[in-house]
Amino acid sequence: MAEATPTPAPAKPKRPLPLSRQMVNAQTAKAYEDAWKAAEEGKPIGWSTAIFCQEICEVFDIPILYPENNCATLSARHIGDPYIAHAEGELAYPINICSYSRLNIGYADTLLKHPEQIPHEAPYLPRPTFLLLTNNSCTQLMKWYEQLSEMFDIPIFFMDTLFNYYEEEPKPHKIKYVRSQIENYIKNMEKFLGRKFDWEKFEEVQKISQENCRLFDEIVALNQRKPAPMSGFDLFNYMSCLVICRGKRSTTEIFKQLKKEVEEHIANNTSTFPAEEKYRVHWEGIACWPNLGYNLKTLKNYNVNAVMNGYVTAWDVLYNPGNMDEMAKAYQCSSTNSFSTPAIMDKRVASIKDYGCDGMLCHVNRSCKLMTFHIHVGREIVDEKAHVPVATFDGDQSDPRIFNEAQFETRLQGLVEIMKEKKEEEANG
């Protein structure tokens, strides 16, 4: 049978989860447990956009949960659809807005009108008492959170960031602007909670957060090895630690364990990628959470490991603890969405080279316009500078109506055939 034709894998008994994954699950369950407990005790709980300065709430020791991360979980478990349908039906939201916002608003309305339908455990969010919002990944978040604020009648703490379309680095005035907002946010939280902010603890939390980000970067970089010790899709799971528990010691423990496991894989020449790795691709865009299993299975059948993607590093917010200017800058730049297409694609080109990728697979995500619009021009840049073929496929991070299995497989197969030809050509000199 031809090499580029998929070999359906025989059904295997499920392998037990590695310890690091069990630790991730336990940490997530605890985050939800703490939040539900606070809700039952009438204590404050926040809902936050994905890349907010969570160090501050960590200092105040208040549970924070993340709707974007929650939507990803609900979608991956195929329990998000009724909320999307509710948002589009009864609440009349259009299909054109981000499916995370549709799902979460549909959920919020259910939580308000039918709280009895919501189990008090993960992955369900308890009702928030305040909102943390920053627009560093897109501006649609502002409308989404305004809507939540109105629905729950609760305040928003907003940190406005500026995009960097015309520069590689944010200009000093932009850093000053964001820094002043972080400082102001701390003061407002002090007023809201009636408690003083502990600046010493703040530095401690910052240190933990930095250690976690650095550890994660080191682990991700281990996937540069050929063959990679991890299936690239594993990174989607582990990055959730930085999303929801960036400033916690428990994340440090998870990453230390993970690093140990990955190094063991390297030493034993094994991998969590469940097939022989013949091709390495760079994945662009958010995962199709409802189709994660199908995508991984199809990639595996074609021996393609998506070793790296441009999304997982959005949470390594790097700065020197105690340096507020650096912190302000890091929160402004951590999502590549805030940069111009050439700047983003130059990062991807560098990453394609570092990770030895043979091609790029781009998720044309119906929901996330900001990430997707870069792809069409970006593919030319990648083609020209990295000299690797690029394939795109349609999908959505949460809305299952957009993705099409046959289309995904055809495009992947086409990409594999080109990568195979190029490899053979290189091998034959």
DSSP class of residue 156 equals: E
381: which strand partners?
Answer: none
Residue 1 vs 92, nearer CB to other proteins: 1
Q: How far is the CB of 389 from other proteins (least distance, A)?
A: 5
Residue 243 vs 361, nearer CB to ligand SF4: 243
Which one, of 17, 7, 34, 16, lies nearest residue 250 by Cα? Answer: 34
CA distance 118 to 96: 27
Residues 325-364 that bind ligand SF4 (CB under 6 A): 337
> Would you count residue 372 as binding ligand SF4 (CB under 6 A)?
no
Q: Is 51:312 a contact under the CB 8 Å cutoff? A: no
H or E element in which residue 244 lies: helix 234-245
Q: How far is the CB of 368 from other proteins (least distance, A)?
A: 15
Q: Is the peptide bond before 321 cis (omega within 30 degrees of 0)?
A: no
* Per rule CB under 6 A, count of chain residues that contact ligand SF4: 12
Pick one of 32, 47, 66, 100: the residue that binds ligand SF4 (CB under 6 A). Answer: 100
Residue 138 vs 352, nearer CB to ligand SF4: 138
Residue 253 vs 409, nearer CB to other proteins: 409
Q: How far is the CB of 5 from other proteins (least distance, A)?
A: 5
CA distance 185 to 405: 45
Q: Is 359:391 a contact under the CB 8 Å cutoff? A: yes
Pick one of 24, 39, 56, 98: the residue that binds ligand SF4 (CB under 6 A). Answer: 98
Which partner in other proteins, ligand SF4, none is near 376 (CB below 5 to 8 A by kind)?
other proteins
> Would you count residue 136 as binding ligand SF4 (CB under 6 A)?
no
CA distance 121 to 191: 30
Residues in CB range of 72: below 8 A, 6 or more apart:
100, 240, 286, 287, 289, 397, 398
Which partner in other proteins, ligand SF4, none is near 98 (CB below 5 to 8 A by kind)?
ligand SF4
393: which strand partners?
Answer: 363
CA distance 192 to 62: 12
Which of 57-65, 135-143, 172-180, 304-312 is the region at the interface with ligand SF4 (rule: CB under 6 A)? 135-143
What is the contact surface with other proteins in residues (CB under 8 A)?
A: 1-2, 4-5, 364, 376, 379-380, 383, 389-392, 394, 402, 404, 406-407, 410-411, 413-414, 417-418, 421, 425
Residue 304 phi/psi, 5° resolution?
A: -110, 120
Helices 324-333 and 172-193 meet at what angle, rounded to 10? 100
Q: Is 178:159 a contact under the CB 8 Å cutoff? A: yes
Which of 119-127, 234-242, 254-262, 368-376 is the region at the interface with ligand SF4 (rule: CB under 6 A)? 368-376
**CA count, 13 A, side-chain hemisphere, 220:** 26
Q: How far is the CB of 2 from other proteins (least distance, A)?
A: 4
Which partner in ligand SF4, other proteins, none is near 2 (CB below 5 to 8 A by kind)?
other proteins
Q: How far is the CB of 76 from other proteins (least distance, A)?
A: 21
Contact footprint for ligand SF4 (CB under 6 A):
68, 98, 100, 137-138, 140-141, 337, 367-368, 370-371
